[in-house]
Amino acid sequence: MNYNAEPPRDGLRLHLNENTAGCSPAVLAALRAIERTDTAFYPDYGAVTALVEQSLGVPAGWVQLTNGLDEGLHVAAQAAARDSRDAATVIVEPAFEMYAACADAAGLRQIHIPPPADLSFPLEDVLRAIDGSVRLVSITDPGNPTGLPVPQGAIARLAEAAPQAIVFVDEAYADFSGRTAIPLPDRYRNVVVGRTFAKAYGLAALRAGALVAHPDTLALFRRLLPPYNLNIAAVRALEAALRDRAYLDWYVGESVQSRQLIYDFCRRAGLVYWPSEANFVLVHVGDEAAGLVDALAQRGIFIRDKSRAPGCAGCVRITAGASAHTRICLAAMEDIRASRQN
């Protein structure tokens, strides 16, 4: 099967790490096949949950679907805040902004760990920050906005160091990295892995995510979630998306090509970048970060200014989606930079 990237409509969105090509065509067919009674009856999640468990390679009972991974982050924060008055969460910077938002919503005290200059994962600093009050440790692997991996063995060490805490491994980009901590919850019941179908599968607007953990750990989360948290469109879309493995493989291949295009551009332009395992690349463009983001936006190309994130002064984050889209962005960046130098 040959897949194509849709030409950009309403601008080229490279600022939220979405699938720039859209979902699999099979997803649209499944949505069109929804019938009148499908929308009238409360949804059943048995079949779709089994399909997700199969696709992630875990036994029945180890997956809880969520309304996007964001709902999973909220429920983890609520679970962590539940049994203690002074519960705290450790957030490793630069971090996905939702961790602080969810901690705030749940009333968790926040301990932010600043990054080293090279933005690598500060395992020893995180371990030092853990005390009895820490009930949630949020890790993103690969990191957002860095795209860097968490070192091998780090999550197991955190799980051992903080048995009273949920060690939440946010794997929003694992479809691109090809690595996963999913085997760990078998050994460590405090490890919860979060996945989303928003990014690689192109279902961001439908809202579908999953938590993977030991069934005893998931039991508390299930008490905190509403019983019908996914709508029928998300359910049918997710089933169709999981069955179209070829589309996922095609898109991940496009993203890998796009990363390489961005690296090549950076080398030619003399820009520092972080080699990424995800569908985006963090690039250091210096003082011109805000100006570059604005100049691209004027051309209908949106990238993310990350200058204000801890450790990321002068940095932008560019989604590495369909290669045709990446080429459009890089050509515009080249043009903007050339016109500045004249």
Ligand X SMILES: *Cc1c(COP(=O)(O)O)cnc(C)c1O
Q: Cβ of residue 307: shortest distance to ligand X, in angstroms? A: 18
Rank residues 295 and 305 by Cβ distance to ligand X and give the closer one.
Answer: 305
Q: Is 68 in the site for ligand X (CB under 6 A)?
A: yes
CA distances, 265 to each of 19, 272, 330 (Å) = 21, 10, 7
Residue among 154, 143, 152 nearest 176 (CA): 143
Please state at what angle helix 215-224 crosses helix 68-81, rounded to 10 degrees.
100
Which residue is at the shortest CB distance from ligand X?
Answer: 68
Check the CA dihedral 261-169-68-62 and report its sign: positive
Among residues 12, 23, 69, 81, the one that binds ligand X under rule CB under 6 A: 69
* Stretch in the footprint of ligand X (CB under 6 A) among 53-61, 76-84, 179-187, 193-201: 193-201
DSSP 173-227: THHHH----TTGGGT-TTEEEEEESSSTTS-TTT--EEEE--HHHHHHHHHHS-T
Q: Cβ of residue 331: shortest distance to ligand X, in angstroms? A: 26
Judged by CB under 6 A, the number of residues near ligand X is 14
Distance CA 262, CA 259 (A): 5
Distance CA 338, CA 342 (A): 7
Hey, is 102 helix, strand or coil? helix
* Stretch in the footprint of ligand X (CB under 6 A) among 125-133, 174-182, 194-202, 247-255: 194-202
Q: Are 209 and 70 in contact (CB under 8 A)?
A: yes
Among residues 49, 64, 190, 196, the one that binds ligand X under rule CB under 6 A: 196
**Pairing outcome for strands 191-196 and 272-273:** unpaired
Among residues 48, 192, 193, 198, the one that binds ligand X under rule CB under 6 A: 198
Among residues 96, 250, 273, 274, the one that binds ligand X under rule CB under 6 A: 96
Q: Is 64 in the site for ligand X (CB under 6 A)?
A: no
Q: Is 279 in the site for ligand X (CB under 6 A)?
A: no
Which residues from 170-189 bind ligand X, rule CB under 6 A? 170, 172
Residue among 34, 29, 24, 18 nearest 4 (CA): 24
Q: Is 209 in the site for ligand X (CB under 6 A)?
A: yes
Q: Is 70 in the site for ligand X (CB under 6 A)?
A: yes
Rank residues 170 and 175 by Cβ distance to ligand X and give the closer one.
Answer: 170
Which residues from 111-170 bind ligand X, rule CB under 6 A? 140, 144, 170
Interacting residues toward ligand X by CB under 6 A: 17, 68-70, 96, 140, 144, 170, 172, 196, 198-199, 204, 209
